[in-house]
Structure 1
């Protein structure tokens, strides 16, 4: 039991510094959710069930744009396709675990949790049975707890804003927050630029499908630029 606790606590400790960047986005989601009329209970429940920061921010943006359920669902799926790559990467390390463990870790598999946990899997497991999944669990639960707390803080902050104040600014602000994550590299810059141009060009499409197509085109542009960069190395 001692090694399990040590691995779990090590995961919590190594994941903790990343939460400084998670908290503002969680709060922004909570504020944005209230801005588009989402009930408090649903805003918090979404963070618990969906647990996907980028997807939640985009869902809020699309709700504010009066998008339909189909475009919102397709967009969320497209944004989370990267998790298939994460899953493929960690599959060899967790396939020996019981199903209940694999399901739990799959639920907790997010960008920040993967980034920290995969580094632990790159190091030897140590003597005895492989207990590195406890480290993974520590990473995931730390991030999950922080995301729930930051969402609750955002909801509480948004609920305290007087009704006569217009907090619709929080909706486009969520997309600006996403852009800060994208434009650090050329691939992200290309994706953001192509997606922005596509949104303008396809604005007339019904059911807000232009948003979905813009995301697809942006992803393709970003991937093409990334491949070109790798080929030059």
Structure 2
């Protein structure tokens, strides 16, 4: 089997378990879109264009109460800030790719796809650096992902990322369509909203292995509790900012510590 296809299928396989939480999440978005008065075709089109569960839910909820375009755009933009951080985290790994690839992966970049793909990038890059220190993140090196004779091979991890993102995209479109078509027949006592926090809890357990992520998660959690009384959900925005600051500070301190250790050697 071709190495590109192997990477793609590996991404699909590793992303698949998270679809158990994505499926009801997409159904909720489809149901909420119809409840807000959107026609079915527009709800499905929005799911394909926006492709962001949290933003889609907020948009349809604000449409339902008659919010204007400016508040809706601002709120959706704030919710999308985290994707900028994901992009920064992945930039060094995809910088060598053609623009068409970077645009495609940017479109497919979601919480779930990032959580799986970044672990793959970090694991293989760590192996590369152990074998050949100083190797750029986007490259491979002998002894890490080389062939049987130790020769370098082309980095195909973007195919893995593509598999992760496309798996989630397909599930999201199908689940939204299910919510649109069958949402009215789902009994009211089926509380499927629980899938939303469960999905993000699963992602959190994958991403808090490093100190910077642990610091960001802790600061954001404390901020959400301390600022919960603020109106207009501003406590959530404040918690995001605190988490970002804590993560950035932790990363900077870790970098300084590593450089000092290397200098002493």
| Match in the other structure for 1:80 | 80
Q: Does 1:71 align with 2:42?
A: no
Unaligned runs of 5+ in 2: 129-139, 147-152, 205-216, 252-265
Q: TM-score, normalised by structure 2?
A: 0.68
| Match in the other structure for 2:212 | none
Alignment of 1:120-135 (within 5 A): 120-122=120-122, 123=124, 126-127=145-146, 128-135=153-160
Cα distance in structure 2, aligned partners of 1:115 and 1:138: 13
Residue deviations 1:3-37 (CA, integer Å, cap 9, x gap): 00000000000000011111111000100000010
Q: Secondary structure at the match of 2:67?
A: coil
Cα distance in structure 2, aligned partners of 1:94 and 1:224: 25
Contact 1:190 1:225 in 2 (8 A): no
| Match in the other structure for 2:131 | none
Residue deviations 1:78-106 (CA, integer Å, cap 9, x gap): 00111111111111111111110000001
| Match in the other structure for 2:22 | 22
Q: Does 1:56 align with 2:56?
A: yes
Q: Secondary structure at the match of 2:66?
A: coil
Q: Secondary structure at the match of 1:5?
A: helix
Q: Does 1:151 align with 2:176?
A: yes
Q: Secondary structure at the match of 2:154?
A: coil
Q: Does 1:96 align with 2:96?
A: yes
Residue deviations 1:150-177 (CA, integer Å, cap 9, x gap): 100110123557xxx9x9x9xxx97x87
Count of residues in correspondence between the two structures = 210
Cα distance in structure 2, aligned partners of 1:115 and 1:40: 31
| Match in the other structure for 1:202 | none
The alpha-carbon distance between structure 1 residues 224 and 131, as it changes in their structure 2 partners (threshold 3 A), is closer
Q: TM-score, normalised by structure 1?
A: 0.77
| Match in the other structure for 2:255 | none
| Match in the other structure for 2:44 | 44
The structure with more radius of gyration = 2
Shift of 1:63: 1.4
Cα distance in structure 2, aligned partners of 1:217 and 1:90: 25
The alpha-carbon distance between structure 1 residues 94 and 152, as it changes in their structure 2 partners (threshold 3 A), is same
Q: Point out which structure has higher relative CO (alpha carbons under 8 A, 6+ apart).
A: 1
The alpha-carbon distance between structure 1 residues 130 and 31, as it changes in their structure 2 partners (threshold 3 A), is same
Q: Which runs of 4+ in 1 moved over 3 A?
A: 176-182, 184-196, 213-230
Task: Kindly report the root-mean-square deviation, in angstroms, between the aligned alpha carbons of the 2 structures.
Answer: 3.2
